[in-house]
Amino acid sequence: MRAADIILSGMKSAISAALGILWAATAAAQSTPAPDLARWQAHAAAVTITRDDWGIAHVRGRTDADAVFGMVYAQAEDDFNRIETNYLNAMGRLAEAEGDSVIWRDLRMKFFISPDSLKAWYARSPAWLRTLMNAWADGLNFYLQKHPEVRSITLMTHFADADGASGVAGQLAWFDTVTRAFEVPRCMANSAALLRYPQTRADWVRPGIMLYGCSPFADQSARELGLKPAMTLSSEIIGVQHLQPGECVGYGFSYEAQAETTLGVVACGYGDGYPRHAPSGTPVLVAGQRARSLGRVSMDLLCVDISDIPEAYIGTPVTLWGDGLSADEVAAAAGTVSYQLLCALAARVPVTEAA
């Protein structure tokens, strides 16, 4: 093997090892230690980057390390995404960005490169080569420090069945295995994991549905979990009608009265985000008392049975879900999940923030 081949081979290993240095350093890019920042600034003061009429960078440095520092800084300015992609590919983690189609490439890379190997190669490298690797990592970290829109790294997974029978054990074990080598913050727990699996809380958590006061579980209510609703959808009765046995209400005559029935017409429909597929019998509160919907939900209206609430009349307040009536219960009656109700409100619904 020629000397040039040996040097090139060594540089390939060096760059891979430097990637490992970069990983450790970027996680702290937003809180840079003073000695690191001083070293980066010293490199930068010794580097001149001039771009010609075609935008090509010409780098001059007082030392080889300064030139490497300036070279990678200029490359990051030109195409940071390519550097990041090369890093993910070298670490066998490209599937995290590009999906399952490249998972076999990641597996192949992991056969040849491991974080422990990178550290060992770095330790065995001659001093001059370590100096260049450090300068390469310093140049990228200085770019990250100068561009705060590039944030620090956090590893994340999202549990597929934290609310179900499988739980989190298998996915958690796999995540721990593939992230063990990286000393960076981790974020794992969604609402279900937060409530049932404290071992998933790590450095960051992502509560979602529980912030609305709804339960992530089909077999446990929000009240049982100590959650209180953060959103109430309310309206009022704008009309009252009396049905005789055999008379029908709503599109498709989907509800037929079996006895004399008093119904209230409520100013809320699927145009406001109430589920159109909610069947007769979906719970509502009228003047704080439980009632049931009747017939099909229309665009702007729905009907409720107020036969047992004699004080109910035009102007009586109606709660569709929220305080006193969990969105979980309404969603279950409508064959959906409370997240859909909470996220589907139309822009035309006025919103009032409670103190």
Domain assignments of the chain as residue spans, ordered by start: 3-146, 155-207, 233-343
Topology of domain 3-146, per CATH? Penicillin Amidohydrolase; domain 1 (1.10.439)
Burial code (b: 16+ CB inside 10 Å, e: under 16) for 27-44 equals: bbbeebeeebeebbeebb
Question: How far apart, in Å, do the first and last CA atoms of the chain sit?
Answer: 76
Q: What are phi and psi of 304, to 5 degrees?
A: -130, 150
Residue 186: strand pairing partners: 155
Task: Name the pTM for this structure.
Answer: 0.59
- Percent of residues, the chain, with pLDDT higher than 90: 63
How high does pLDDT run on average in the chain? 86
**pLDDT value for 23:** 39
Residue given tokens 């974020």 in the structure block: 187
pLDDT tens track for 265-311: 999 999 999 999 999 999 999 999 999 999 999 999 999 999 999 99
Q: What's the mean pLDDT in 176-193?
A: 86
Tokens of 205: 């958590």
Tell me the CB-side half-sphere exposure of residue 346, using CA atoms within 13 A: 12
Distance CA 114, CA 343 (A): 43
Residue given tokens 């996915």 in the structure block: 171
Residue 220 has what DSSP assignment? S
Helices (H), ranges, 190-245? 191-196
pLDDT tens track for 30-88: 456 788 889 999 999 999 999 999 989 999 999 999 999 999 999 999 998 888 888 88
Under 8 Å between Cβ of 154 and 171? no
**pLDDT value for 197:** 96
Asked if pLDDT for residue 1 goes beyond 70, the answer is no
Residue among 53, 50, 22, 294 nearest 182 (CA): 22
Q: What are phi and psi of 160, to 5 degrees?
A: -80, -25
Under 8 Å between Cβ of 103 and 36? no
pLDDT tens track for 87-107: 888 888 888 778 778 888 888
Under 8 Å between Cβ of 275 and 302? no
Which residues, in sequence order, are CB contacts of 178 under 8 Å at separation 6+?
Answer: none
Topology of domain 233-343, per CATH? Lyase, Ornithine Decarboxylase; Chain A, domain 1 (2.40.37)
**pLDDT value for 350:** 93
**pLDDT value for 355:** 66
Asked if pLDDT for residue 8 goes beyond 60, the answer is no
pLDDT tens track for 205-215: 999 999 999 99
Under 8 Å between Cβ of 129 and 15? no
pLDDT tens track for 225-244: 999 999 999 999 999 999 99
Q: How confident is the model at residue 144 (pLDDT cuts 50, 70, 90)?
A: confident
Asked if pLDDT for residue 5 goes beyond 60, the answer is no
